[in-house]
Structure 1
Amino acid sequence: MDAPVRVRILGVGMGPAHVTSEVADALRSVDYVLAADKTDPETDARTDEDPLLELRRAVVGAFPGPDGPAEVVAITDPPRDRSAGLTASQYESAVADWHAARAARYADVLRRRGGTAAFLVWGDPSLYDSTIRIIEHVRALGVDLGYDVLPGVSAPALLAARHRIVLHEVGRSVHVTTGRRLQEAVAAGLDNIVAMLNPPPHRLDFTGLHEWTIWWGANLGAPGEQLLSGRLGDVEPLLPAARAAAADTDGWVMDLFLLRRT
């Protein structure tokens, strides 16, 4: 019979400095942490491991329990179709297949190990992260588990703090979406938009938006943090170099922006 498992889904912002005391206590109590290793030995020329896996190890190491830091169990991340030309349905299908493959790998480890496991989520688990969905999928595969979720500092909160702004004007709303759906939001009449999970700048469609104001950030809270703001038409040419600088410093890049009609 499989051992029962407790899973803790922990929001960790962008590293140890953003870990709340609640999440720190949880990290001190778990038996191990499951983490995706996205290094591809066939296409990645680096000899070291996935830099985001290294960052997860730093988070865990900053909050050791009585017997030292929890063990980090690295699981090779399954491949995902990231082709630029995917339709909306093809994109959703590719993500669903990726999540299913992840769930199967996590289920195998959780069945064998039991105990209390943690998943560390960049930012906050409630916003553009699928760990909760994947854990539900693991349960559907027959793993006897219960889980809880602890919040973290979200990327939009960090963006607003770095630029010293409020994400919306008085009494107005803010729409949160992905970069690939930016023009869809604009067509719906939305004019105060946070875009996350962005592709490289050359794949973003900024048509008709160059008089809008942008507040952009990459790798917020990391050594390679980059910030830009101003009229989109002036800022857009600067985005590729700033994004590359973040990637060169940290070995990875995550960016987002707030775009508002002037």
Structure 2
Amino acid sequence: MRRILVIGIGAGDPEQLTLRAVRALNEADAFFLLDKGRAKRDLIDLREEILRQHVTRADYRVIEDRDPTRDRTTPTSDRTGAYTQGVDDWRQARADIYERLIRDELADGECGAFLVWGDPALYDSTLGILADVLARGTVSFEHEVIPGISAVSSLAARHRTGLNRVGGAVQITTGRRLASGFPAEADDVVVMLDAHQTFTDFADDPSLHIYWGAYLGTPDELLASGPLPEAAPRITALREEARARKGWIMDTYLLRRTAPE
């Protein structure tokens, strides 16, 4: 039986891998990396640096394939189902690649690994896609999930703050959902996958405080915080400059109702 490891590798710092993740890296015969193109080559380079730092065996293989292009022409606010269909089509294209890699690049009894940014359980498609591959019945494998330090945990640590306050709850959501309005039942909201700087929709609210981070755990890390009306223009400028310089950006932020004491 083939074996697959889904390894959470943290938000970008090779030193943030757990001891279990390091052990898992050394169990793998092959690592599957999906190339997102020249603009995002940094994501492949960081994964390869993790392998150089933590894998002690010399006989492992690195197998790269091209990540399928996702249709982003439909706005995320679309309510007709076109956005969801575009995501489903992209996932199925990825499933085709995963299926072929596992079937053709792993012999029976070998172990392959997918290195997942952050934590595999938080806004990542790898586990769902592997479930789709298994449901097809064309290739059999066992798989194990190794949790990682998420961008959410890294953001809170870098800003030296907790995610929730005494007796309170924290909600983790996406920029697309935040665009529908600030959650009524939450005072602490973590926002991920926000390509449109949705926090600017609330920039006139003096009761909100923001903790923002981009490229967390990497040499390019950017941090900013403060009352939202004051911090929003500064973060927007930082974000635009960084995206122009690198060609891509991954950022996460915490919106907190009422400024911290």
TM over 0.5: yes
In the alignment, the residues of structure 1 paired with residue 153 and residue 183 of structure 2 have an alpha-carbon distance, to the nearest angstrom, of 26
Amino acid of the structure 1 residue aligned with 2:187? D
Change over 3 Å in CA distance of 1:237–1:84 after alignment to 2: farther
Match of 2:231? Answer: 235
Q: Deviations over 1:123-167 (max 9, x none)?
A: 111111111001111112221011000011111111111111111
Q: Deviations over 1:167-221 (max 9, x none)?
A: 11101000000011114352544331100011042x6552476321111111111
Which aligned pairs between 1:126-205 and structure 2 lie closer than 5 A? 126-142=121-137, 143-184=139-180, 186=182, 188-201=184-197
Instruction: Determine helix, strand or coil for the equivalent of 1:106.
Output: helix
Instruction: Determine helix, strand or coil for the equivalent of 1:217.
Output: strand
Match of 2:250? Answer: 254
Q: Aligned-pair distance for 1:55? A: 1.1
1:102 aligns with 2:94: yes
Amino acid of the structure 1 residue aligned with 2:64? A
Q: Aligned-pair distance for 1:95? A: 1.2
In the alignment, the residues of structure 2 paired with residue 37 and residue 241 of structure 1 have an alpha-carbon distance, to the nearest angstrom, of 28
In the alignment, the residues of structure 2 paired with residue 119 and residue 96 of structure 1 have an alpha-carbon distance, to the nearest angstrom, of 20
In the alignment, the residues of structure 1 paired with residue 239 and residue 222 of structure 2 have an alpha-carbon distance, to the nearest angstrom, of 7
Match of 2:30? Answer: 32
Q: Aligned-pair distance for 1:109? A: 1.5
In the alignment, the residues of structure 2 paired with residue 24 and residue 185 of structure 1 have an alpha-carbon distance, to the nearest angstrom, of 41
In the alignment, the residues of structure 2 paired with residue 85 and residue 158 of structure 1 have an alpha-carbon distance, to the nearest angstrom, of 29
Cα contact 1:224–1:250 (8 A) shared by 2: no
Match of 2:58? Answer: 67
In the alignment, the residues of structure 2 paired with residue 82 and residue 137 of structure 1 have an alpha-carbon distance, to the nearest angstrom, of 22
How many residues are paired up?
A: 250
Match of 1:55? Answer: 46
Q: Aligned-pair distance for 1:6? A: 0.6
In the alignment, the residues of structure 2 paired with residue 168 and residue 187 of structure 1 have an alpha-carbon distance, to the nearest angstrom, of 15
The counterpart of 1:76, out of the listed 59, 66, 69, is 66
Cα contact 1:5–1:146 (8 A) shared by 2: yes
Change over 3 Å in CA distance of 1:185–1:172 after alignment to 2: farther
Q: Aligned-pair distance for 1:227? A: 0.8
In the alignment, the residues of structure 2 paired with residue 101 and residue 50 of structure 1 have an alpha-carbon distance, to the nearest angstrom, of 20
Once the two structures are overlaid, the 10-residue window that deviates more, 139-148 or 238-247, is 238-247
Q: Aligned-pair distance for 1:83? A: 2.7
Amino acid of the structure 1 residue aligned with 2:98? Y
TM-score for both structures, normalised by structure 2 = 0.88
Once the two structures are overlaid, the 10-residue window that deviates more, 80-89 or 15-24, is 80-89
In the alignment, the residues of structure 1 paired with residue 50 and residue 65 of structure 2 have an alpha-carbon distance, to the nearest angstrom, of 17
Q: Aligned-pair distance for 1:253? A: 1.7
Cα contact 1:29–1:65 (8 A) shared by 2: no
Change over 3 Å in CA distance of 1:100–1:84 after alignment to 2: closer
In the alignment, the residues of structure 2 paired with residue 187 and residue 127 of structure 1 have an alpha-carbon distance, to the nearest angstrom, of 19
Instruction: Determine helix, strand or coil for the equivalent of 1:206.
Output: helix
Q: Deviations over 1:91-130 (max 9, x none)?
A: 2221111111001111012111222110011111111111
Once the two structures are overlaid, the 10-residue window that deviates more, 158-167 or 203-212, is 203-212
Instruction: Determine helix, strand or coil for the equivalent of 1:59.
Output: helix
Unpaired segments ≥5 residues, structure 2: none
Q: Aligned-pair distance for 1:50? A: 1.8
In the alignment, the residues of structure 2 paired with residue 98 and residue 249 of structure 1 have an alpha-carbon distance, to the nearest angstrom, of 27
1:121 aligns with 2:113: no
Cα contact 1:183–1:205 (8 A) shared by 2: no
TM-score for both structures, normalised by structure 1 = 0.88
Q: CA RMSD in A?
A: 2.1
Instruction: Determine helix, strand or coil for the equivalent of 2:101.
Output: helix
Q: Deviations over 1:12-42 (max 9, x none)?
A: 0023111111111111110111111111xxx
